[in-house]
C-alpha cells in the first residue's frame, strides 16, 4: 500500500475538523455558470442545484439560487467555499420548445477535481455545460470478471481473482479520485414488492468502496483503464486457471482481525476505502452474477453518508411455500450521483432489474442457469464502436458481450 493512502484514510474523516482547528483555510467566493444547450428554443431552467463537494473533506455545499445571465442560455450563482479541490455536480429541469409544444427534460453537468484557490482570481469561476441527464461522465465499467476461476481437474472454486476494469471513455483526462464502486442490495432473480421503492431516485447498496485521492492522485488518460482487483497478485501461480492481477492499481482489502477471514494486502496496489458493507467477513462479487455493480461520484462525506443515506424498507416475498412480509435496511446512492451502472443476472433466472432503467435498462450475464458451472473463468466486456469507443447506451443487454474470456487472461 502506498504510504500516502494511510494518511488519506483518517484524513477523509478528520481533515475537515483538523484543518479548521489547526491551520485556517482561506475561503474564496466561487461563481458557477451553467450553460444550456444552444440547439433548443426558449429554454427555461428550473430547480437548478449545484452540489460543490470538497474532494479532501467530503464537505458539500449546495447552491440553488441560479439566475439567468445575459441571453437566457446561461445561468449563474455565487457561493463561498474554502480553498481546495472540488467535484461539482449540477442538476436541473429545463423546459424548452419543440415546435409548438413545451418539453421538460432533466439536465446534469459535472466537473471533477476543480482547483479553487483565492490566488487564481478574486472570485473563482466554473463554467459547466448543462447536458441531458444521461450524458456521460466519461468513466465507464468496461469489464467485470465476477465469476472467478476453478482449480484444474477438481473444478473447485477459487474466488480471489475477481476484478473490475474502469475505463475513461472520453477524450480528456479524468481523475478517478473519490470515485465510488458499489454493489446493489437487491438481486435480479428475486423480485420483491418494496415499500418504499426508491429505485427511481437511488440505488440500494450492499457495499461501497471509494478510490482514495486528493483530487489529482488518480489520473486516467482518455482511453486508459484502471483495474480494481479483489486481490492484486499473480493468481496463476496458485491456480493455472487463474489470472495475473499483480499489475492492478487498486485492490479491495478488508481489514479483519478474524483469522478465518484474513485478506492479503499487496503493497503495490492502492487499497480502496470501505464506507459500508452489510457483510462483515470479506467482500466478493457475486460469482453467479446475481447483483448489479456501479460507479458513482460521491457528493457527500462519509459521516453524512452512513447517517443520512440509509433507509428501512419492507418487502413482500413470494416464496414457493407462501407470501410473507419482511423488513430490510440498506444504504443508498442517489441515481444522480451514479455515473455508470451494469446489471448482471443469471440468464435463466432474471426477474427484474434492481436499478432504475435510466441507469441501466438491460442486463448481461455469464451463467446460463443457477447451477451453470461453465460460467467460471468468463467475464462480461463492453462492446466498442467502429471508432474504438466503448458503447454506453445505458442498456447492458446491448452494450455488453456476455461470457467472454477475461481481458487480463494470459
Q: Which residues of the shown chain bind another protein in the complex (CB under 8 A)?
A: 1-3, 5-6, 9, 13, 151, 153-160, 207, 231, 233-234, 238-239, 246, 254-267, 273-280, 282, 302-303, 306-307, 310, 312, 314, 318-329
Nearest distance in Å: CB 276, another protein: 6
User: Is 73 or 151 the residue whose CB approaches another protein more closely?
Assistant: 151
User: Is 101 or 258 the residue whose CB approaches another protein more closely?
Assistant: 258
Nearest distance in Å: CB 142, another protein: 25
Nearest distance in Å: CB 87, another protein: 21
CA dihedral 11, 14, 17, 20 (to 10 degrees): -20
Query: Are residues 103 and 91 in contact, defined by beta-carbon separation less than 8 angstroms?
Result: no
User: Is 196 or 267 the residue whose CB approaches another protein more closely?
Assistant: 267
CA distances from 27 to 58, 117, 291, 367 (A): 16, 8, 43, 54
* Burial class of residue 73 in the structure, from the number of CB atoms within 10 Å of its CB (0-12 exposed, 13-18 middle, 19+ buried): middle
Q: What is the DSSP string of 204-242?
A: EEEEEEE---SSSSSEE-TT-EEEEESS-SBGGGT-TTS
Nearest distance in Å: CB 273, another protein: 8
User: Is 119 or 321 the residue whose CB approaches another protein more closely?
Assistant: 321
250-259 exposure pattern, b = at least 16 Cβ within 10 A, e = fewer? bbbbbeeeee
Instruction: Say how far apart CA 342 and CA 294 lie, in whole Å.
Output: 6
Nearest distance in Å: CB 292, another protein: 20
Instruction: Say how far apart CA 380 and CA 405 lie, in whole Å.
Output: 8
Query: Are residues 218 and 273 in contact, defined by beta-carbon separation less than 8 angstroms?
Result: no
C-alpha Rg value of the chain to the nearest Å = 22
Nearest distance in Å: CB 397, another protein: 30
User: Is 9 or 118 the residue whose CB approaches another protein more closely?
Assistant: 9
Nearest distance in Å: CB 14, another protein: 12
Question: Residue 49, SS3?
Answer: strand
User: Is 134 or 256 the residue whose CB approaches another protein more closely?
Assistant: 256
User: Is 106 or 246 the residue whose CB approaches another protein more closely?
Assistant: 246
Find residue 60's DSSP bridge partners: 53
Amino acid at each position: 500500500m502506498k504510504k500516502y493512502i494511510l494518511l488519506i484514510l483518517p484524513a477523509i474523516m478528520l481533515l475537515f475538523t483538523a484543518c479548521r482547528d489547526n491551520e485556517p483555510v482561506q475561503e474564496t467566493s466561487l461563481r458557477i455558470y451553467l450553460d444550456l444547450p444552444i440547439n433548443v428554443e426558449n429554454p427555461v431552467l428550473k430547480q437548478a442545484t449545484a452540489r460543490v463537494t470538497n474532494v479532501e473533506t467530503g464537505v458539500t455545499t449546495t447552491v440553488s439560487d441560479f439566475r439567468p445571465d445575459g441571453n437566457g442560455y446561461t445561468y449563474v450563482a455565487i457561493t463561498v467555499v474554502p480553498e481546495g479541490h472540488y467535484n461539482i455536480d449540477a442538476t436541473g429541469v429545463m423546459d424548452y420548445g419543440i415546435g409548438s409544444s413545451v418539453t421538460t427534460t432533466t439536465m446534469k453537468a459535472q466537473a471533477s477535481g476543480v482547483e479553487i484557490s483565492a490566488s487564481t482570481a478574486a472570485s473563482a469561476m466554473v463554467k459547466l455545460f448543462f447536458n441531458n441527464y444521461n450524458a456521460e461522465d466519461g468513466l465507464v465499467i468496461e469489464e467485470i470478471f465476477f465469476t472467478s476461476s476453478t482449480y484444474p481437474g477438481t473444478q473447485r472454486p477459487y474466488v480471489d481473482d475477481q476484478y473490475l476494469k474502469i475505463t475513461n471513455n472520453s477524450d480528456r483526462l479524468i481523475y478517478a479520485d473519490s470515485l465510488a464502486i458499489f454493489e446493489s442490495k437487491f438481486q435480479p432473480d428475486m423480485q420483491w414488492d418494496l415499500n418504499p421503492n426508491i429505485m427511481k431516485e437511488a440505488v440500494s447498496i450492499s457495499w461501497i468502496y471509494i478510490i482514495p485521492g486528493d483530487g489529482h492522485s488518480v489520473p486516467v488518460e482518455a482511453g486508459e483503464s484502471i483495474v480494481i482487483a479483489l486481490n492484486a497478485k499473480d493468481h496463476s501461480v496458485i491456480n493455472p486457471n487463474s489470472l495475473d492481477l499483480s499489475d492492478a492499481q487498486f485492490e479491495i482489502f478488508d481489514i479483519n482481525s478474524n483469522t478465518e477471514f484474513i485478506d492479503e494486502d499487496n503493497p503495490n496496489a492502492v487499497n480502496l476505502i470501505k464506507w459500508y458493507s452489510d457483510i462483515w467477513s470479506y467482500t466478493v462479487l457475486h460469482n453467479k452474477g446475481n447483483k448489479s455493480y456501479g460507479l458513482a461520484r460521491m457528493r457527500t462525506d462519509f459521516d453524512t453518508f452512513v447517517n443520512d443515506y440509509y433507509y428501512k424498507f419492507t418487502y413482500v416475498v413470494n416464496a414457493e411455500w407462501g407470501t410473507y412480509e419482511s423488513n430490510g435496511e440498506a444504504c443508498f446512492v442517489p441515481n444522480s450521483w451514479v455515473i455508470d451502472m451494469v446489471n448482471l443476472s443469471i440468464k435463466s433466472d432474471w426477474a427484474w432489474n434492481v436499478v432504475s432503467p435510466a441507469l441501466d435498462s438491460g442486463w448481461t450475464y455469464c451463467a446460463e442457469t443457477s447451477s451453470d458451472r461453465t460460467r467460471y473463468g468468463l467475464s462480461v466486456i463492453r462492446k466498442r464502436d467502429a471508432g474504438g469507443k466503448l458503447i454506453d447506451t445505458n442498456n447492458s443487454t446491448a452494450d455488453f458481450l456476455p461470457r467472454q474470456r477475461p481481458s487480463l487472461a494470459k
